[in-house]
Amino acid sequence: MATNIAYREIDGRSSGYWALLTVLGAFLAAALGSAWFMEHHGHIVTGMDNQIVWGLPHVFAVFLIVAASGALNVASIASVFGKAPYKPMARLSALLAIALLAGGLMVLVLDLGRADRLIVAMTYYNFKSIFAWNVFLYTGFFVIVAAYLWTMMDRSVQRFSKAAGVVAFVWRLALTTGTGSIFGFLVARALYDTALLAPMFVINSFSYGMAAFLLVLMAAYGATGRPLDDALLVRLKNLLAVFAAAVLYFLVVFHLTNLYFAKRTAAEAFILLNGGVNTWMLWWGQVVIGNVIPLVLLLHPALSRSRANIALAAILVVAGGLAQMWVTIIGGQAYPLEMFPGMQESSSFYDGMVHSYYPTAPELFLGLGGVALALTLVAIGIKVLRFLPEKLSGAE
């Protein structure tokens, strides 16, 4: 099937295309301006402090990094598992994976305040720290996926495509495991410190990445007027439904596991019942908006026939993913540290206090800038190189 696929760049001459790049450029400019503002005045201008050290930019950054791994779903299904209908979309899948990771890392680097300190992280390594390992995982992902793309686009090395796909598949699992382990290895936080976070992040990546891929695919083919077969959309939306259901399953298991341990009962009561905005983000953002409604839209016999409903479900999965990252990152920090387990302590340094966090506009624009960079890279990529087939069919 794949040998008969004709790939072609988009024209990229329409007013709509240039309007898209203009809007994305405006968001990128706002992100750079926000990074300069925070670097010039210090992080005092953000909602972050010495209690909530990871804020809204990290919500966007971690979401984009996790979604980057999942965006490679389609390419992995085609190469590793040999499913022919997905092979024509593999190039776009790999491009989106690289773009999303670039967007996420841009947010992380610009949020450092002193972005030049990244040089220290790249030249001095503490291999007991998961952050040090992630430097290799993220840079390795760029190299491996780029090589994977090369094997898909150059006939002279096409025989290595399956091997490159297997390496990329294994590496993406390691990357997402490493990202989840950032939180899982933090034993001081009651809502972190669990091995479940690593597989949770892996399945989260499948859901977020598939939703992002579906939206990009539908937008690209809708804007260019290229045929996109309903049978193929059915395959993709069914996959998204499976991943969304798996995310919901892992969420239930995660909280039931925490409730099993008496020492975490108070932390679970905080996040599930009385955590304020964090509880709202969990139930309404993560569960209802991010999983329940998309599952209804994707699995209902009548509703799932509409392309608009499929796109809406993907949008809601993305929104729910951001809410989930908020709950994980900010909610996990908001609950007070237990400095001396089994003992009582008292000081003027926020002992036993739930920490509040109010994001500011610079944080929001920096996070949105990461999304804008990812979309810009995809928009330019499909214009200058042959990532998109002229038509897509879901036939075997």
Q: Helices (DSSP H) in 273-306: which residue ranges? A: 277-280, 293-299
- Which residues constitute the domain of residue 360? 2-339+349-384
For the record, the structure tokens of 375 come out as 């979309």
Q: Tell me if residue 343 falls in helix, strand or coil.
A: coil
| Residue 383 pLDDT | 95
For the four alpha carbons of 176, 178, 184 and 186, in that order, the dihedral sign comes to negative
User: How many angstroms separate the CA atoms of 198 and 137, rounded?
Assistant: 14
**Phi, then psi, of 127 in degrees rounded to 5:** -75, 0
pTM value is 0.94
CATH code: domain of residue 377:
1.20.1630.10
**Is 296 within a domain?**
yes
**Is 344 within a domain?**
no
What's the number of domains the chain is made of?
A: 1
Interval 290-322: pLDDT, tens: 999 999 999 999 999 999 999 999 999 999 999
Q: Helices (DSSP H) in 51-129: which residue ranges? A: 56-71, 73-79, 90-110, 118-123
| Residue 131 pLDDT | 77
Segments of the chain with pLDDT less than 50: 1-2, 396
**Is 393 within a domain?**
no
| Residue 1 pLDDT | 41
**Is 379 within a domain?**
yes
Q: Smallest Cα–Cα separation from 371: which of 212, 247, 221?
A: 212
For the record, the structure tokens of 270 come out as 């905080």
| Residue 39 pLDDT | 87
**Is 396 within a domain?**
no
Percent of the chain with pLDDT over 90: 69
**Is 389 within a domain?**
no
Q: What is the dihedral of CA 107, 111, 117, 118, to 10 degrees?
A: -20
**Is 394 within a domain?**
no
Interval 70-115: pLDDT, tens: 999 999 999 889 888 899 999 999 999 999 999 999 999 888 766 7
Interval 21-38: pLDDT, tens: 999 999 999 999 999 999
| Residue 2 pLDDT | 44
**Is 281 within a domain?**
yes
For the record, the structure tokens of 122 come out as 């790249």
